[in-house]
Structure 1
């Protein structure tokens, strides 16, 4: 059995969310990310869209955490759009230590500049590259809070996450990283602005699966596709797309 798939899947918690993605593409949103190395913490929010690379036969546990609705897109699309698997790091590893040392070097430089304007400033290109790297890292395991519940020693590695993190140019002036305290204080403002940026796909060419929770949702999804894409999809494309709709009830019972 394959341990990875030819698709990546984005899960969401409602049929309405799924239908809006089908119609408008993915809207960017800031996500809070904690990274730990020993006693050090890196706590930022980054703009991203998350997917997983988990075979449907192994996804039952993931459904309860992230939602029973989803859209699967081909890996070719992911590569073309610049997505990348998350880099998982063990808290005690030398690689985590190296990364934290670079971050502390940058923080030290910022503090020195406040007290001594003549301090040589760290190269801006290096700073942007460091932000890019940090936005793609995650601890191998740790504590997870989801749906108001805390799960201790959760293995993030099992999610096999892929991320779309936009470049500075694609963000059109929005921040690439925000300290969590600042983000939490005004997250609606930050998400409203960055949400105007879309990650798009071709509904006929790029979709592998459309996942809904129940059989009844299949009919609603078919009606939505018929109403919204009858002018842009051929009859044959419409028929093929409809065969890609599957319910999580089927996944749980048949895979």
Structure 2
């Protein structure tokens, strides 16, 4: 994959948002040792009147040297995945929509809700004739909505933060093959696991998918141990992210 200064060949998942450094390091350690990423329920697009959520894990393709502003929000501990591998698993850039197009998105969601109802009653569905959708077409539309994100929203202090500049990529639960029944949980698949009596959707990856991990300099010793276990490069935040 050709290298460009303004876009990275890796997708970085940052940890540490609203956490102290010790908690962020613990989260990164858990990710590396278990080789799983926990999916969170996040809005596809945001509005005061309407929210649609999907289980997903998020990344950015902002090059490390330009990541200071991003890291100020999402943390300084990261794991960088080979973009090509993640694309093969189903990763996709977030599909940003402006407020002017929000009404169209809402109409699409209303259509999907009606289509779900049609799937529950086949006889009623047949009455729609040419206007009915096949099940795989319905599923495809539902999966696409998982990558939607509104271009901007208002922070709690009412200052505008434009999400477009997060350069977000996503893996969504609905678009990943599910490891269930007799299917083993292999890299590239989703599953559920229990922790503290709570069930979480997760994504499994392989060490081969990882290009590097990033930690601040004062966590270099712990970071080096993780990097050796993952057989990947260790990057120090202060040396990799431009001030």
Specify the alignment match of 2:8 in structure 1.
Answer: 5
User: Where does structure 1 lack aligned partners over 5 or more consecutive residues?
Assistant: 174-187
User: Where does structure 2 lack aligned partners over 5 or more consecutive residues?
Assistant: 17-23, 181-193
- Where 2:143 maps in the other structure, the secondary structure is helix
CA contact (8 A) 1:30 1:45 kept: no
Q: Does 1:164 align with 2:175?
A: no
Q: 1:200 to 1:158 in 2, by over 3 A?
A: same
Residues matched between the structures, number: 212
**Deviations along 1:76-114, whole A, 9 cap, x unmatched?**
111221111111111103xx4443222223445678999
> How far, CA to CA, are the matches of 2:179 and 2:104 in structure 1?
31
Alignment partner of 2:146 out of 130, 135, 140:
135
So what's the TM-score if we normalise by structure 1?
A: 0.69
Q: Alpha carbon RMSD of aligned pairs, Å?
A: 3.3
Q: 1:221 to 1:126 in 2, by over 3 A?
A: same
Q: 1:3 to 1:35 in 2, by over 3 A?
A: same
> How far, CA to CA, are the matches of 1:168 and 1:34 in structure 2?
14
Q: 1:138 to 1:18 in 2, by over 3 A?
A: same
Alignment partner of 1:200 out of 201, 205, 223:
205
> How far, CA to CA, are the matches of 2:161 and 2:209 in structure 1?
32
Alignment partner of 1:72 out of 66, 70, 80:
80
Alignment partner of 1:48 out of 45, 53, 56:
56
> How far, CA to CA, are the matches of 1:168 and 1:63 in structure 2?
27
Specify the alignment match of 1:154 in structure 2.
Answer: 161
